Structure formats: structure tokens, C-alpha cells
Structure 1
Amino acid sequence: MTISSWAPLREPVFRSLWLAVLAGNVGTWMHTVGAQWLVVPEADAATWVSLVQAATTLPVLVFALPSGALADNLDRRRLLLGVQLGLTCVAATLAALAALDLVRPPVLLIFTFLLGAGQALTLPSWQAVIPEIVPREQLPAASALGAVNTNLARSAGPAVGGLLVAQFGPAVVFALNAVSFAVFALALAGWRRPPQPPPARPERFGTAVHDGGHFVRYSPDVRRILGRVLLFVLPGSVVWSLLPLVARDRGLGAGGYGGLLAALGAGAVLGALLMPRVRARLTANRTVLATGAAYGAALAVIALVADVTAVAVALAAAGLAWMMLVSRMNAAMQLVLPNWVRARALAVYQVVFAGAQAVGAVVWGQVAAAFGLAATFGTAAAMMVAGTLTVRALPVRTHEDTDTSPAVFWPEPHLMLQPHLDHGPVLVQASYRVAEPNTSAFVAAMHELRDSRLRTGASRWGLFRDGADPQIFVETYLVPTWEEHLRQHEGRLTGSDERAERQAAALAEGPPVIRHLLDAESL
């Protein structure tokens, strides 16, 4: 059955939070307009304007993964609520200073950076709570609505902010930004989140950040999704970074530029409406091919065709393709991530996405300055097509039947020695007896387990065969500390990990013999 694009909005909690996030996104875009307007009169306005944009983007790149670590170890609702209240205070203070004409460029950059840091704390937590408030089958539609949210804010925020700044000055948009954060805080306060069982031992901050990166490194599904995002967003960012110059070269004023932005946003909204049907008919990899081809063709039209109507149609197609690809990859991430590391992995996704946009903006700006807009868009189109064609070599595997629920199926370890939680490293050995006809299948099944061990805490893994008794296979993996190994026992493994382990064990003669070898020098 096809899930409606708007189905998640029937969930009261998702609907109220989605509208609150929309208000926050619009407020952020209005802040950007107000901030840029404040520095326009400065002698070196171009530099200050670019620094404002950098102060907005840099915190996402710097703080996203640490923010994900916090979101995976703290109550996500309370974390979001606290951050929104803090952002309300920061934005309100900036509004008051602007009303008193006390904001100078360095002060503005500090406040903009603080607001960006708050947004970096918000993004992973918000993405991570979505699976809690919508059913699993509605996650793709929720991801599409997230893209609609972003594009509506991108279209409406600058336009509304520009009108307000022209009529009332920057202080008003800064104040409205504070109100938007307060609205999000009120929506969170009204959400009665079911009690969450506290973790047996909250992860230490540094270890949590490391383990989040380790999970992504040894998750082939996640890496392929990130790769597809990078290959699409890097050339695709040329539209977002150079669209004002396209409007200028076509002889359009501010109104015409707004029209081009509206075409881009309309295409994204249309993409959200079509997404359920497209998802029902196209696999993830065919979606990659279709969206890459459509976006590449749109870039070619912008490069070669002077007619404004044709450019607007091409931008609508680009917006549609952008929304479909981004929402499909975001949904794929949600489907393959276990809860214990969800926010951290989504934070890495945000870093890749924002980093590709930031790097793309810089690169395409330099290319346009050296070779002109037509050559720049043509080059981006060629890169888009080339990246899309790699889908056969680097396909996306969404595994929508993946069971990411926690699975506690390992027996509790019984030791004569009682190591301290910080004791390590710990070498775990599992010995199997495998009949000769099953050896090839067993080795293949054990290599499926390799990534599971490494994703959940192991730093090294190996599979060995006894030279004296070829039916004996010994799996070994090294875990940095005893505490990290206990986390594997207590909920880091998933239903899919359990299924893979049972498939490997079914090829052996009886259950494995498990040994825990402790570092002798630290006992």
C-alpha cells in the first residue's frame, strides 16, 4: 500500500513539531538576511557578508558529531528543549542590542556563531526523534516532509526577512527569530514523551564521539549512503551558490531572483507529493539514476539556454530531483540505524551534507570567476552525470527489512577475575567446530559478522583455522575496554546482528566456546 506524502502530519506530535521546526527554519533564514543587511554598510562588506555565512555553517561542521554524542546519551526531548530555550535567549539579546544600535560586525559574528552552534545541537536530536513519533513505514514520507520544510523556509524566509528589514530594520527579524525558537520550545514542552529506560552506564563523551565515527566507518550501508549524498550534493550545490548570478546575467532584478527561488521550491514541493508513487515504482538505485539524470539535464539547460522560462522550468526539475534524492537517502539512513548510535550517525550525515554544500559553494564560485557561468554549470552537469553512473559500482543498499531493534542474546560472561570497567584491551575468542562441507559457507557467514563486531565496539577482528585440527575455527576480536564489551552484551547488537550470528552458528556443530582474555599487565 502506498503511504500518503502527508500521512506523518496526521500524527499530532509530529505535526506540532514539524510546524515548530518550520517556524525555526524561517526564523534562521530571516536572521541571515538581517545579519547580512547589518554589515552591508561596512567598508569591506563582501568579506563581512561571507563571514556571516561562514559563522552560520561552521558550527554544523564542528559540533554536529559531538552534538550527536550528546543526543545519544541524554534525553533527546529535554536536550532539544534546553537548546531552544538557550537559542531564544541568544536571539532575544541580539534583538535588544540591535534595537539599541549596539551591534558591530564582530559582535554580530559571535551571536551568529552561537545560533549556528544551537542549530548544530538541534539537527541530530530532531532527526533522531522522528522514528519515535511516526511509524517505521512512514519514515520515507517524514523525510520528504523534512525536505519540504527546508525548502519552504528557504523560499519564504529570505523574502519575508527582506521585507521586514526594509520596513522595520534588523532588530525586528532578530526578535522574530527568538519567537520562532520559543515556539519550538513550547511544542516540545507539550510533547509527553514516553519514559525512556536510562542507559546502564552513560557513555563518556570522548568515547561516544569515537564510537559514533567507528560505527559509520564499519557500516557499509551507511558509507554508501554518505557517498551518494556527496556525489550528488557537491555538483548540485552550484545552483544554490550561483543562482543570484544566474538571475543577474538573465537581466532579472530582485523580483526575478525570487521567482527563480520560487520555481526551485515549487519543484521540491511537487517532489514531495510524487515521492510515495516514485518510491513504490523505483528502487533506491533507480531513484539515484533518475534524479541524477534530471538534475544534470537541468544544469545543462541553465548553462546553455538564455530563455528565462526554460531556466525556471529547469530549476523546478532540479528542485524536484534534489528533494527526491535527499529525502530518499535520509530515509535510508533512518531505516538502517540502531537507536544507540542514531543521532551520531545522522550527525555525520549532516556534516557530509553541509560540508559538500560549503565546499561546493567555494569551488563553484572560484570556477565561475575564472571561466564564467556557462562553463561552470556545464562542468557541474558533467560531474553530476559521472557521479550518477557510479551507482552500478557503488549501489545503495537500504535493507528496508533490517531489524534495528536492540537484541540482548549473548549470555552474561562469568569470570573468576572481575576486571574494572576501564580494564583493557579485552580479547574475545569464539571457537567453532565446522564440518568440511560447510567451511566455505561458514567463512562467508563469519565475514558478515566482522562488520557487526567492529560497528559495536571491537577495534580489530580476525578468523583463524587450527592447523592441527582443520575443523576448528577461532574468531577473535579485540575490544578497547571491558566496559565497551559489556555494551555489546547490553543492547548495541540488533535483531539483524542476531540473525547473522545464528546463521553462522547453524553451520557449526554446536554453539561456540567463548573465552574472554584480559590484559595480564593491567590486572
Structure 2
Amino acid sequence: MGTYAPLAVSGYRKVWGAAVVSNVGTFLQLTAGPWLMNELTGSPLMVSLVTAALSLPRLLLTIPAGALADALDRRNLMITGNLVGAVSTGAMAIMVTSGTITAEWLLAWTFLLGVGSAITLPAQQTLVPDLVPANMRAQAITLNSAAFNVARAVGPSIGGLLVSAGLTAASFGINAATFVLVVGVLLSFPRQPAEDAQRHLFRSAALGMRYVRFTRPIRRLIVIAGVFMLTASSVQTLLPVVASDDLAVGATGFGLLYGALGLGALAGVAGREAARVRLGRHMLPGAIAAFGLGGIAFGLAPGPWIAGLAMAVSGVMWVWTLITLNASIQTLAPRWVRGRVVSLYLLAIGLQPFGAVLSGAIAEVTGAGMAVAILSVGTVALGLFASRLELPVLGEIDEPVIADNWQMPRHATQVAGTPVLVATTWEVDPDDVETFMDHMRELRRTRLRTGAHRWSLYRDADRPYRITEFMVVADWDEHLAQHARIDTEAAEVIRRSRAFDRADGPVTRHLAGLDILASHAPPIADQLITVHEQLHAHDGSTPLDHHDTDAPSGSRER
């Protein structure tokens, strides 16, 4: 199936097209803002702070926004974020036109624009791929990422041309109009259901972080993304200063250099699929290292022609790197936690402010070009290091799917009291202990990825081969939600673990905290298990003795 197949789906095409326009407008401003700050102050550090102000809100808001993207209507989140963007960019356009803009106001409005972006991105990144059939999802994720990253390159190039023509205010005004356009498109779509409704935002965000922590492929990709942004962001951050001070090409040359980056990005999108097939597992580390080499060439370029060629190469590699990272992470993450996983990826991308400030500080000492070259050496080193890791290969990743036999039956069970402790006891053959422990390590990762916030393993003091697993979840609703999150991989881990019991299967007990002090606590009778045994009998997570179906919380279940 071709890369552009999802564009045949009407709903996807409308939202994707609106996102392209909006992203171009946002990054169009990424040129106008730094250039305006350079005119206002002439300080490389102040110029880098414009980029930092746009990206810094991701560090503060992206994780909560990712939790909201899984728990609320993603369409409404996107509408809210785009309205915030329209207000901030509209205000900048008015102040530039009236001549009242100052460095402080520019940073403040840019920060507010970053707030709108932080609210929007997790919902947008996860909504758009779901508008197409499952067999097109990988291509939709690729196009979604391509829209963002191509706009990152193309938008500033258009902004450079507007700046060179003295139309800085128009750059901000056009950006404001693109946000209004996106809101209009979103209002034509129905509300979107929540993927993993949560009552507690902090708990939901913490679960997303645990999922990433205990999923090694996603964790590695997110770390690579963060380090890449710390080193690679210097190219775009210091481009205005390199163009004006080192290359002396003025605003027109600045726009043309960004144009070269944009053309490279477009070529990268067109050739990405062919490169993926040809390069396989070498594509991601190779693209990272090649971007670093392009950055070194740009920073040390003796003239604009070599600088432009280096920017074109960097544009190709920028798009290849970030599309591969984004699409791989979204494909690896199950739907119920995808918003939170994507928010952590965006948080890693949001480390750009630190890279921007770092590059600005180095440039104050060494000069802008040399600062780009120094940090680009770090990008090359990252690519070489990534080539030694076992990383998932886009195109060979199977999207997680919920196990068919883990469908929960209808139930109305409510158990008060927190936390909930689930204890599962095995009678293990002495010859199987070492292998059993290996499986317990896998089981631990599964439990902590799906809702448990504490896990431990104990053995009976008198019978050392009677081994009990303890996991703690926040409350009963969270424990029941675990059943809906069991994918095929987790189901297989649980089945293999169960097989080590020498009897009819491990014995499970559920202990729910009883609230006997609070005046509003429900009656004790309402805090006892009534339907949970039936649930286990259906999903097979722990086998039960059907003669013990009325056991209360904390009883012994077979």
C-alpha cells in the first residue's frame, strides 16, 4: 500500500490538509519571530529565547495534554488549542503593525502560542491516524508526521521571504488565519470517544509514564528523540545569526537558506518510503548521523552555496529522522495509552528549548557557525550510537491489539476502598525456579504497563517453592480496567506464567482496603466483591474454582 493511500479517505484528507496549513503557519512564524527579535535586540541569546518560548510549554503541559487526549474528546482539545494560537498570533500581528511590539511582548505571545500547541499536538497526533482503516494506519501516521515536519521546514522558508519583503506582521496574521481555518474544519466533525477514561489526571499521566518506562523499544526511541533535539535544534535556532553575521546574505539569503531546508524536507517525504525499504534498520541511525554531517558543513560553510546544499541535505535527514521516530512510536503504542505515549515523545521533542538556549550560549563565545558545528558533532555521535542498538524497524512493527479472549462481560461491580492488592500464589517445581523467575520479570513489566503501580515477589517462609506475586493498583476500577488493556503479547506472558503452577493453576486473592473511618464511607457489604470472579472466569487471567463464586474481597480464589 502506497504512502499516500490515506489521502483517499475524505475525513482524513480534510483534517490532514488543515493541519498542514496550520503547521506551515506556525513555523512560518518560527522565521519571523527570531528575525524580529534579532532586529529588536541583536542578541543571539535573545533570538534563541524565541524558539525556547515556543517550545517550553511542551515541557510543562504536554504530559497532562496527552492524558487528556486519552480521556476526553480529542476534537474539543484541538479546537481549544487552535483558538489559543489564533489569539496569540493575532495579537502579535496587531502589535507589529502598530509599532508597539517589544522583546518582552514577543516572548510572552510566543509562549502563549506554545501553550496552544502543547494542548493540540497529542490529540492531533493520535486523532488523525484513527480516521482511516486499520490497514492504513501506519501510512496515516507517516503522513501525519510528515505534515508536521515538512511544515517545520517549509513554513520558515516562506516566512523568510515575507520578512525580506518587510511583511513580518503579515507572517503573524496569516498564522492566526490558519488557526481559525482548522477550528472551522474540526467543527464539522463529530465528537470523538475517549480511549481510556480516567477520573484522575495525575494517575492517568503516571500510568503513561510507566508504560513507556517498561516498554524498552518505545523508551529507546524517545531517548533518541530527546538527544537528537538537544543537538540538532542548533541548525534552525542559529540560522538567522549565521545568515546575517557569518554569511552576510541578509534577509533574502536567509529566506533562501530556509527554502533549501524546505526543499530538502519535501524531497525527504517523497523519497522516505523507498529509502525505508532500501535501508531497513539502518535508516534511523543513518539519517541522524547524516543530519549531523550536514550541520557541520553548514556551520563551517565558507559561502552561501555550500551552506544551501548543507541545508538541503539536513532537510531530507530531519524529515526522515522525525517521521521514523514518530510513526514507529505510534505504531508500537496501543490505542488506550497512545495519547500519553505520544505526549512523552513530544516532550522529548520539546527539549528543543534547552538545545536552543545551549546553542545560543555557545554562540556567544564561539560564534554562531562554530556553535552549530560543535553541537552537530554530538548529532553524528548519536547516530553512531543508535546504530549499535536493537531498534524497531518501521514497516516491520505489529500494532498491539487487544486479546480476543480478554473481553470483559457486562458488570456493575463497585468496590470501595483503596488501594487494591492482588496476590497470586504459585506452587513451583524446584527444577523450574530459574525459568519461572525469568517469566516473573516479564510478568512484572506487563503488570506495571497496564495499571499496577507497585509489584513485588515473595516466597513462603516455611515452603520456599510457594511463591506469591503482589501487585497494587490505585482502586478497583483501575484493576478492572487492566482487563481491557491486555493485548496479545501480555496475554501470552500471563498464560506462560500460569503454566508453572504444579496444581490446577495459581491461586489469586484480591484485597481491597476497607474504609471504616470516613463518615461518607459506603456500607461494608457494598465493599465486597460480587462480579469479579465471573470476570476472571471469562478472561482466563487466573483460573477459578466455580464452586467459590461468592467469595468476598480478600478471600481465597482458585
Fold shared per TM-score above 0.5: yes
C-alpha distance in structure 1 between counterparts of 2:89 and 2:257, whole Å: 30
Paired residue for 2:490? 497
C-alpha distance in structure 1 between counterparts of 2:337 and 2:260, whole Å: 37
Task: Tell me by how many angstroms 1:224 deviates.
Answer: 0.7
Paired residue for 2:386? 391
Residue identity matched to 1:25: N
After superposition, what is the alpha-carbon deviation per residue over 1:284-317, rounded to whole angstroms, capped at 9, x for unaligned? 4x22332233223323433555254333333222
Answer yes or no: is the 8 Å Cα contact 2:32–2:159 preserved in 1. yes
Residue identity matched to 2:490: D
Indicate the RMSD between aligned Cα atoms, in angstroms. 3.5
Closer/same/farther in 2, CA of residues 60 and 408 from structure 1, 3 Å limit: farther
C-alpha distance in structure 1 between counterparts of 2:122 and 2:93, whole Å: 27
Closer/same/farther in 2, CA of residues 232 and 40 from structure 1, 3 Å limit: closer
Counterparts of 1:335-414 in structure 2, within 5 Å, are 335-355=331-351, 357-372=352-367, 375-391=370-386, 394-397=389-392, 400-405=397-402, 409=406
Paired residue for 1:185? 183
Secondary structure at 1:405's aligned position in 2? coil
Task: Tell me by how many angstroms 1:216 deviates.
Answer: 2.3
Which deviates more from structure 2 when the two are superposed, residues 477-486 or residues 304-313? Answer: 304-313
1:320 has 2:316 as partner: yes
Task: Tell me by how many angstroms 1:253 deviates.
Answer: 2.8
Residue identity matched to 2:487: T
1:58 has 2:52 as partner: no
Secondary structure at 2:386's aligned position in 1? coil
Paired residue for 2:219? 223
Task: Tell me by how many angstroms 1:88 deviates.
Answer: 3.7
Answer yes or no: is the 8 Å Cα contact 2:158–2:259 preserved in 1. no
After superposition, what is the alpha-carbon deviation per residue over 1:74-105, rounded to whole angstroms, capped at 9, x for unaligned? 11123223433454455556656666666665
Secondary structure at 1:397's aligned position in 2? coil
Counterparts of 1:81-120 in structure 2, within 5 Å, are 81-89=79-87, 91-92=89-90, 95=93, 106-120=104-118
Residue identity matched to 2:402: S
Secondary structure at 2:400's aligned position in 1? coil
Unaligned runs of 5+ in 2: 518-558
Task: Tell me by how many angstroms 1:378 deviates.
Answer: 4.3
C-alpha distance in structure 2 between counterparts of 1:82 and 1:380, whole Å: 36
Closer/same/farther in 2, CA of residues 124 and 140 from structure 1, 3 Å limit: same
Answer yes or no: is the 8 Å Cα contact 1:236–1:380 preserved in 2. yes
C-alpha distance in structure 2 between counterparts of 1:224 and 1:522, whole Å: 45
Residue identity matched to 1:441: T
Closer/same/farther in 2, CA of residues 166 and 388 from structure 1, 3 Å limit: closer
Answer yes or no: is the 8 Å Cα contact 1:337–1:404 preserved in 2. no
Secondary structure at 2:326's aligned position in 1? helix
C-alpha distance in structure 2 between counterparts of 1:153 and 1:410, whole Å: 41
Task: Tell me by how many angstroms 1:126 deviates.
Answer: 0.4
1:443 to 437, 448, 451: 437
Answer yes or no: is the 8 Å Cα contact 1:338–1:406 preserved in 2. no
Answer yes or no: is the 8 Å Cα contact 1:27–1:180 preserved in 2. yes
2:208 to 188, 212, 216: 212
Identity, % of aligned positions: 33
2:449 to 435, 444, 455: 455
Task: Tell me by how many angstroms 1:149 deviates.
Answer: 2.6
Answer yes or no: is the 8 Å Cα contact 1:5–1:273 preserved in 2. no
1:276 has 2:269 as partner: no
Which deviates more from structure 2 when the two are superposed, residues 332-341 or residues 131-140? Answer: 131-140
Answer yes or no: is the 8 Å Cα contact 1:94–1:111 preserved in 2. yes
Paired residue for 2:302? 306
Higher RCO (CA-CA < 8 Å; seq separation 6+): 1
Secondary structure at 1:282's aligned position in 2? helix
After superposition, what is the alpha-carbon deviation per residue over 1:212-268, rounded to whole angstroms, capped at 9, x for unaligned? 223223322221111121233322222122223433423423222222222222222
Answer yes or no: is the 8 Å Cα contact 1:64–1:121 preserved in 2. yes
Secondary structure at 1:511's aligned position in 2? coil
Task: Tell me by how many angstroms 1:184 deviates.
Answer: 0.8
Closer/same/farther in 2, CA of residues 83 and 442 from structure 1, 3 Å limit: same
Residue identity matched to 2:19: V
Paired residue for 1:71? 69
Which deviates more from structure 2 when the two are superposed, residues 473-482 or residues 28-37? Answer: 28-37
Task: Tell me by how many angstroms 1:471 deviates.
Answer: 4.5
Secondary structure at 2:337's aligned position in 1? helix
Answer yes or no: is the 8 Å Cα contact 1:463–1:473 preserved in 2. yes
Secondary structure at 1:432's aligned position in 2? strand
Paired residue for 1:262? 259
Normalised by the size of structure 2, how large is the TM-score?
A: 0.80
Which deviates more from structure 2 when the two are superposed, residues 183-192 or residues 120-129? Answer: 183-192
Which deviates more from structure 2 when the two are superposed, residues 120-129 or residues 320-329? Answer: 320-329
Task: Tell me by how many angstroms 1:352 deviates.
Answer: 0.9
Paired residue for 2:508? 514
Tell me the matched-pair count: 513
C-alpha distance in structure 2 between counterparts of 1:231 and 1:30, whole Å: 25
Closer/same/farther in 2, CA of residues 372 and 322 from structure 1, 3 Å limit: same
Task: Tell me by how many angstroms 1:348 deviates.
Answer: 1.3
Secondary structure at 1:515's aligned position in 2? strand
Closer/same/farther in 2, CA of residues 365 and 93 from structure 1, 3 Å limit: closer
Secondary structure at 2:350's aligned position in 1? helix
After superposition, what is the alpha-carbon deviation per residue over 1:318-351, rounded to whole angstroms, capped at 9, x for unaligned? 2222211211111111111122221122111111
1:478 has 2:467 as partner: no
